[in-house]
Amino acid sequence: MLLKSIAGNLSCEDWIIPAILYTNVGMFVLTLLLHPLKTGFSLNPLTFLSPDNGSLILLGATGTIPIHRFGRWWTLLSANYLHGSILHIFFNMMAFRQIAPLIRIQFGGSRMIIIYTLSGMAGFWASYLAGVPLTIGASAALCGLIGAALYYGKSRGGTYGRTVFRQIGSWAMGLILFGLLVPGIDNWGHGGGMVSGAVCGALLGYREKSGQNTLHHLAAGFLVLATAGVLLWAVFTGFYIRFR
């Protein structure tokens, strides 16, 4: 009943982008509150307001450490909503605000939720298989949206499609170069997210090919419930372990 109610509300799509953005911000604030004395308050912009690894692990960072040592497979989902510094979340959310409206318009809100969630999890799964010990961030899911946009532009064609493909393609190339030049970037997560986003886009289709259907709404509703459940569990267990 709850799933059907959420699926029905997905027809009004205006709340989806703000909900994802505010959830990321809320989780970032909670990571800072979990270990307030260990939070980085230096004037270095790269480390300013940076939660420590203990907070991130407790609230759902993923990688071989959380999965192998603690069996926390659910972190493949929760890690998409965690960030390592104020700059990290700022740039990810700025990028999200730019690309998410395109995906929501061309694919629809329900399909956007599916692409965002599944590609983020797939990106972190690729990181896990590659042996990345600890990883976080919305960038794997963002790369999923980029992959879906690349598929859309290439598939649609025409002046508009080619323009979308060129613009988003320049973003993708910049992201690849940034990942190769800057240490500590989870390139496996980026690549896995981008490829899975393109695959999801191809399998789900976009509005000019086919409209959203009940299955899309139900799948998106399930993923919304799963995300909420996983994040609530991460917050409850994280604060319980920290303050027990």
Q: Which amino acid is at 182?
A: V
Is position 18 within any domain?
Answer: no
pLDDT score recorded for residue 190: 95
What is the rounded CA–CA span in Å between residue 227 and residue 19? Answer: 12
What is the rounded CA–CA span in Å between residue 150 and residue 154? Answer: 6
Per-residue pLDDT tens digits for 50-62: 888 889 999 999 9
What is the rounded CA–CA span in Å between residue 97 and residue 77? Answer: 20
Q: Which two tokens stand for residue 192?
A: 């896995």
Is position 1 within any domain?
Answer: no
Cα–Cα separations (whole angstroms), residue 65 to 84, 119, 135, 214: 17, 21, 10, 38
| CA neighbor of 153 nearest in space, from 168, 142, 139 | 168
What is the DSSP track for 58-117? HTT-BSHIIIIIH--TTHHHHGGG--SSHHHHHHHHHHHHHHHHHHHHHH-HHHHHHHHH
Is position 71 within any domain?
Answer: yes
Task: Find the CATH number of the domain harbouring 146.
Answer: 1.20.1540.10
Per-residue pLDDT tens digits for 110-143: 999 999 999 999 999 999 999 999 999 999 999 9
Structural domain span for residue 66:
32-231
- H-helix or E-strand spanning residue 51: none
Is the pLDDT higher at 26 or at 2? 26
Based on the structure, what is the number of domains in the chain? 1
Most confident of 8-12, 33-37, 45-49, 237-241: 237-241
pLDDT score recorded for residue 74: 97
pLDDT score recorded for residue 50: 80
Is position 191 within any domain?
Answer: yes
Percent of the chain at pLDDT > 90 equals 75
- H-helix or E-strand spanning residue 54: helix 53-58
Is position 12 within any domain?
Answer: no
Is the pLDDT higher at 167 or at 9? 167
Cα–Cα separations (whole angstroms), residue 244 to 33, 61, 228, 236, 241: 15, 21, 23, 11, 6
Is position 212 within any domain?
Answer: yes
What is the rounded CA–CA span in Å between residue 236 and residue 215? Answer: 31
Is the pLDDT higher at 12 or at 3? 12
Is position 96 within any domain?
Answer: yes
Cα–Cα separations (whole angstroms), residue 190 to 110, 187, 225, 240: 22, 5, 25, 32
Sorting pLDDT into bands at 50, 70 and 90, what band is 175? Answer: confident
Average pLDDT, the chain: 90
Is position 142 within any domain?
Answer: yes
